[in-house]
Structure 1
Amino acid sequence: MTTDVTGTNDVEHRSEPAFGAEVLRYSAFTADPSGGNPAGVVLDASGLDAAAMRAVAAEVGYSETAFVTAGDERTRRFRVRYFSPLAEVAFCGHATVALAVALAERLGPGEIVLDTPAGEIPVSTAADEDGAVRATLTSVPTRSRPALAAEVDATLGALGWSPADLDPALPPHVAFGGNDHLVLAAASRARLADLDYDFDTLAEVMRRHGWTTVDLVWRESAARFHARNPFPVGGVVEDPATGAAAAAFGGYLRELGLVTRPGTVAIRQGEDMGRPSDLLIAVDPRDPRTRVTGQAVPVPRR
């Protein structure tokens, strides 16, 4: 049975699109609603089938919308599905953070468990001194493997990049943290900033290999990376903040031996598209899971 956790005095970020589903709008991985990655949140989707959820996600128009299809307020456990405007995805990190913050604002901070198509996702929520809510999700076990030459060549062709544009110290991998992502490390910040790719060609390459995004990164330091995530398979040119890719990237760093003891890595994303986002990942070389932390704030309706 789905718990009614929709009560709130703040109606600024609500709307009611098709099928009568009330949609909340939050921007994740930011304290500023003009930054981060916006996500739709439907706290009661018990009456919606997959086609209806996809239609709602398409009407909302964000890269993903999270739908609570069942839940128990007492145990704080909820079943969740995620839809882009084009298709269902197994897991979405920024929509998870948005959903967790929305639930914490209604139920109070604490532990939440989400049952997703990718598996069980525990989420810890806590309020800062100023009342802002942060969420830390724990991913499913990650894995990472070297990308095949054909995979890399096809992707570089769609991006308009050459092998010389890549950082040889950070080899291409296909990393998993709930979804598969191709990780390509740019040799310079300028190369990362200059992104103008063939949308249809990259989408076809990604569909062929089952990738959710291409995770383009640049290493500023051992503890700080910049990222961009083309997402044409979801009908979106680029994601401003991608929690699932950040979780997978934690597995990538662990697999390459770049994390030798438990620590955190900051990821700056969305800057080149005018929606700066900050993701913090915690990686432990002894634990295959990645912990991804971020804030989320309501998006005011215009």
Structure 2
Amino acid sequence: MITEILRYTAFTSDPSGGNPAGVVLDAARLGEDDMLAIAAEVGYSETAFVTEGDAAARRFRLRFFSPLAEVAFCGHATVATAVALAERTGPGELVFDTPVGEIRVATETDGQGVGRATLTSAPTRSRPAEDAVVDAALAALGWARADLDPALPPHVAHGGNDHLVLAAASRARLAALDYDFDGLGDLMLAHGWTTVQLVWREDAGRFHARDPFPVGGVVEDPATGAAAAAFGGYLRAIGEAGEAGEATTIRIRQGEDMGRPSELLVGIDPADARVRVTGQAVPLAA
């Protein structure tokens, strides 16, 4: 069985940046073991598989696999797949049926010919994280309570997957990431977190993020669309999503500390539980 595996990097227009994803546009004949084996061979944090599709209706069924397991939702692989499909079928809206429900993605091409996609997330929600859980995460990270920004309290945020959100008090604390891979991974598995989203607020509209992903067999993700969506819901829940009652867009810079800079635009509407995450994607050489 010959399967074409495409490679894209998402949330960047530069092949040396962003978060690489595998994309298989014709996975109808593949079983779960096949998809997991391909994801492990590709070696990226996630590979997306189109298992069914109606090109005329622009509707497709999408599954995501890390090198270790299936993942319910992956933002950067969704953006990569949407751009890959748009390059073949033309820009416009796509609908993906995923394990977390229907995800709509608007695609376009910018003035330089680079594909761009805006996904509308599953409904987001956020709740305060328990003190004991936060303490366990801080221990695995090698952080102290004093390293946290008191204005952005620890939460478990959901945008398709659960993510523990911890805000660093300084950019230096965020940059110095050296954590207990197995210890944090075990804690994440116990609580069902896909990533731990570590953020630092530069100003009201710009954040920096790092996302450890040991449960997927990856030390860190250079861009995490699902966590960005969850973070948008978190900001809305704690009342930090711009002026009262008005929609706002924030920028998340990620991947800089690992040499793969990425930028994610996150659109937050106080009246809508869904969050919009926008990014570019470009193909990579095989």
TM-score calculated relative to the size of structure 2: 0.98
Indicate the SS of the match to 2:274. strand
1:62 corresponds to 2:47:
no
Match of 1:184 among 147, 159, 166: 166
Give 2:150's aligned residue: 168
Give 2:250's aligned residue: 265
CA distance in 2, matches of 1:53, 1:256: 38
Match of 2:268 among 279, 283, 288: 283
Match of 2:110 among 125, 128, 148: 128
> % of aligned pairs identical?
74
Give 1:294's aligned residue: 279
Please report how far the alpha carbon of residue 181 of structure 1 lies from its aligned counterpart in structure 2 after TM superposition.
Answer: 0.1
In structure 1, runs of 5+ residues without a counterpart are 1-18
1:285 counterpart letter in structure 2: P
CA distance in 2, matches of 1:36, 1:218: 19
CA distance in 2, matches of 1:109, 1:151: 44
Please report how far the alpha carbon of residue 151 of structure 1 lies from its aligned counterpart in structure 2 after TM superposition.
Answer: 1.0
Indicate the SS of the match to 1:20. coil
Give 1:40's aligned residue: 22
Please report how far the alpha carbon of residue 46 of structure 1 lies from its aligned counterpart in structure 2 after TM superposition.
Answer: 0.5
Match of 2:3 among 16, 21, 35: 21
How many residue pairs get aligned? The number is: 283
Please report how far the alpha carbon of residue 128 of structure 1 lies from its aligned counterpart in structure 2 after TM superposition.
Answer: 1.0
Give 1:84's aligned residue: 66
In structure 2, runs of 5+ residues without a counterpart are none
Indicate the SS of the match to 1:247. helix
CA distance in 1, matches of 2:49, 2:28: 9
CA distance in 2, matches of 1:87, 1:20: 22
Q: Per-residue CA shift, 1:33-62, capped at 9, x if unaligned? A: 110000000000001111110010000000
Please report how far the alpha carbon of residue 133 of structure 1 lies from its aligned counterpart in structure 2 after TM superposition.
Answer: 1.1
2:285 counterpart letter in structure 1: P
CA distance in 2, matches of 1:233, 1:130: 37
1:161 counterpart letter in structure 2: W
Q: Per-residue CA shift, 1:208-257, capped at 9, x if unaligned? A: 00000000000000100000000000000000000000000000000001
1:240 counterpart letter in structure 2: P
Match of 1:97 among 71, 79, 93: 79
1:200 corresponds to 2:182:
yes
Please report how far the alpha carbon of residue 20 of structure 1 lies from its aligned counterpart in structure 2 after TM superposition.
Answer: 2.4
TM-score calculated relative to the size of structure 1: 0.93
Match of 1:222 among 190, 204, 212: 204
CA RMSD for the aligned pairs?
A: 0.6
Give 1:106's aligned residue: 88
CA distance in 2, matches of 1:130, 1:278: 17
CA distance in 1, matches of 2:2, 2:227: 32
Find runs of 4+ consecutive structure 1 residues off by over 2 angstroms: none
Please report how far the alpha carbon of residue 171 of structure 1 lies from its aligned counterpart in structure 2 after TM superposition.
Answer: 0.2
Give 1:235's aligned residue: 217
